[in-house]
Structure 1
Amino acid sequence: MLLSACSSRNAPAPVVTLSEAKTFKQFKELGNAAEYQVEKGDTLFSIAWYSGNDYKDLARINKLSAPYAIYPGQVLKLRESNKNVRKNVTKETGKTSKIKANQPVDRPKKQAYGESKTVQKSTTDIPKNPKPVSSGSDFPPQVTEWIWPAKGKVIGQFSLSEQGNKGIDIANSPGTPILASAVGKVVYTGNALRGFGNLIIIKHTDAYLTAYAHNRKILVKEQDWVRPGQQIAEMGSSGTSQTMLHFEIRYKGKSVDPLRFLPNQP
């Protein structure tokens, strides 16, 4: 039986929720894997999220077209082959880029939770207007600063337990602005991942993704570039019983504690 994300992007996809232990065990090593064998309940969207990929990249690599039907036992490639990467590099690097790798970042406006903080020290900063900065990639090699994605009270902490919270939950009133936590490209908007409600996923580097769940209204579209502090949504209660933002950071498909990256609350 074919499993897909449904022909309509507005209908919930038949995927298990993040809180289920089997799912976390099943996907927690995907960030380093080259292939994945589809199991019952999987969709291309869920596989892309857990493996740290853009679902459109997985569709292209595996020659899948909408509605991205997949089936149990099918083996999907999670990474592009070196041969294809070299071909793309040859085509895309005919001209020298005018973007300097060490171009400084414009400091974002001061946030409610204080100044941004550096999470990785390097001489390579994120360009002011993100464009391809290295051969074969649209993304800078790292994130140099993160900001809080919303004002509010942290009501849910990150947990490493199998059924624990894979991010943090921030509560506030309906309509509270949801902000991009770092520079990046929107790679997903929709509600095809059950348990997240209206969801936004932003890709910041080839390794980092962030997720913003339970939104009332989404203000960006897929393939948009966003700046730190740019409003991307309004806080809501879609997919949950309480008005809040569920925020996650994933590194190579693995959940990490957002509080390790965000500046301290004042």
Structure 2
Amino acid sequence: MHLKTKRLNPALSALLASGIALLAGCSTTAHRAPVEDRPVSQATPAPSAVTASAPSHAASAPEAPKPGAENAGKPGYYTVKPGDALIRIALDTGQNWRDLARWNGLENPNRIEVGQVLRVVPPGADPVPPGAASTRPIASARVETRPLDGKPAPAGAAPQTAEPAASAASALAGAAAATEDELSWGWPAAGSVISQFDDLRNKGLDIGGKAGDPVYAAADGRVMYAGSGARGYGNMIIIKHVNNYLSAYGHNQALLVKEDQVVRKGQRIAEMGNSDSDQVKLHFELRKQGKPIDPAKLLPAR
């Protein structure tokens, strides 16, 4: 038994020696592999990887100040909040959105940033009250019957021509000299009121009706906006009147007037609809220097 053990020792020694050599070879290979594979690991990262790493790098850098930040909190300026649109800011401040774009050097009115500070009164004007708007002179304009989708106007909706410049200007000049109680207002639609004014939840009156029912200008003025750029209003028209009044008409299915057009009280300006609404209705607002007021206080009794 002892002799067999001695005979096996050389074999075991050889086996152990070859095992050690094999392990040494593996160890050497494992050490060299990262060096040999290094060029592969240095390949240019995919775009998504670059994008993913950007926030951590940018987070360490100070945030650049927003445009107009030096005017934050000053009278006559407005700080943009989440969800704002330029047309909505214009409505709330009693201004024309085109004027806001010009005063603030906005090349693209659809691109405003949260935290950006906008001038909302004319340069050089008294900033108090911030919603004050000047009355523009009235010029002659032709009223086109133009649905929003560009399709031909419905039968019977013949184009109308605005009053001559002299008569329109004299009518508005006379209204400008009147007091608020003497301004002539008319109902913008024939339907019943389905939702009353509420300063917190409903900034105007909701008037019911059928799709296609006529919507009328509530008073003489000039179309300041015609489009669908204000969330919650659908296809909307805003008319500027004297004494810094604005009237707004929302949720229409077709708009029959265009921006900068002179309109007269009782003129058909739109067709009732349910754009951005769960039912057919006209949402009608009156604003004085941008502040919502109850239209029922100014409209004639029915």
- Alignment TM class, shorter chain as reference: 0.5 to 0.7
Change (3 A) 1:76 1:239: same
**Residues 1:255 and 2:292 are matched in the alignment:** yes
Q: What pairs up with 1:1-266 in 2 under 5 angstroms?
A: 33-82=75-124, 128-130=167-169, 140=176, 144-160=183-199, 162=200, 164-205=201-242, 207-265=244-302
> What secondary structure is seen at the aligned counterpart in 2 of 1:128?
helix
User: Distance in 1 between the 2:237 and 2:277 partners?
Assistant: 15
**Residues 86 and 109 of structure 2 are in contact (CA less than 8 Å); yes or no, is this contact kept in structure 1?**
no
Same amino acid, percent of matched pairs: 44
Equivalent position of 1:102 in the other structure: none
TM-score of the aligned structures, taking structure 1 as reference length: 0.65
Cα-to-partner distance string for 1:90-138 (whole Å, 9 max, x where unaligned):
xxxxxxx9x9xxxxxxxxxxxxxxxxxxxxxxxxxxx73138x89xxxx
User: Distance in 2 between the 1:73 and 1:209 partners?
Assistant: 27
Change (3 A) 1:153 1:33: farther
1:66 Cα deviation from its structure 2 partner = 2.9
Change (3 A) 1:240 1:61: same
Cα-to-partner distance string for 1:10-36 (whole Å, 9 max, x where unaligned):
xxxxxxxxxxxxxxxxxxxx9x94111
**Residues 167 and 257 of structure 1 are in contact (CA less than 8 Å); yes or no, is this contact kept in structure 2?**
yes
Gaps of 5+ in 2: 1-72, 127-136, 140-165
1:242 counterpart letter in structure 2: Q
User: Distance in 2 between the 1:65 and 1:56 partners?
Assistant: 11
User: Distance in 1 between the 2:78 and 2:89 partners?
Assistant: 8
User: Distance in 2 between the 1:83 and 1:244 partners?
Assistant: 38
1:67 Cα deviation from its structure 2 partner = 3.8
Equivalent position of 2:161 in the other structure: none
Higher helix proportion (structure 1 or 2): 2
> What secondary structure is seen at the aligned counterpart in 2 of 1:130?
helix
User: Distance in 1 between the 2:102 and 2:287 partners?
Assistant: 22
1:175 Cα deviation from its structure 2 partner = 1.0
> What secondary structure is seen at the aligned counterpart in 1 of 2:184?
coil
User: Distance in 2 between the 1:46 and 1:67 partners?
Assistant: 12
Cα-to-partner distance string for 1:63-112 (whole Å, 9 max, x where unaligned):
2123442112221111112279xxxxxxxxxxxx9x9xxxxxxxxxxxxx
Cα-to-partner distance string for 1:44-77 (whole Å, 9 max, x where unaligned):
1111111111101111111212344211222111
**Residues 248 and 284 of structure 2 are in contact (CA less than 8 Å); yes or no, is this contact kept in structure 1?**
yes
**Residues 101 and 109 of structure 2 are in contact (CA less than 8 Å); yes or no, is this contact kept in structure 1?**
no
Change (3 A) 1:198 1:129: same
2:188 counterpart letter in structure 1: P
**Residues 92 and 290 of structure 2 are in contact (CA less than 8 Å); yes or no, is this contact kept in structure 1?**
yes
User: Distance in 1 between the 2:113 and 2:299 partners?
Assistant: 39
Change (3 A) 1:57 1:206: farther
> What secondary structure is seen at the aligned counterpart in 1 of 2:167?
coil
**Residues 141 and 205 of structure 1 are in contact (CA less than 8 Å); yes or no, is this contact kept in structure 2?**
no
Deviation larger for 63-72 or 36-45 = 63-72
User: Distance in 1 between the 2:241 and 2:206 partners?
Assistant: 21
Cα-to-partner distance string for 1:155-208 (whole Å, 9 max, x where unaligned):
010013x2x211001111111110000011111111111111110011112521
User: Distance in 2 between the 1:209 and 1:187 partners?
Assistant: 9
Whose radius of gyration is greater, 1 or 2?
2
> What secondary structure is seen at the aligned counterpart in 1 of 2:248?
strand
1:66 counterpart letter in structure 2: N
> What secondary structure is seen at the aligned counterpart in 2 of 1:175?
coil
Equivalent position of 2:31 in the other structure: none
Pairs aligned (count): 189
User: Distance in 1 between the 2:227 and 2:299 partners?
Assistant: 25
1:39 Cα deviation from its structure 2 partner = 1.9
Change (3 A) 1:167 1:33: farther
> What secondary structure is seen at the aligned counterpart in 2 of 1:234?
strand
**Residues 33 and 78 of structure 1 are in contact (CA less than 8 Å); yes or no, is this contact kept in structure 2?**
no
User: Distance in 2 between the 1:224 and 1:230 partners?
Assistant: 12
Gaps of 5+ in 1: 1-29, 85-96, 100-126
1:260 Cα deviation from its structure 2 partner = 0.5
User: Distance in 2 between the 1:233 and 1:83 partners?
Assistant: 34
Please provide the CA RMSD for this pair. 2.8
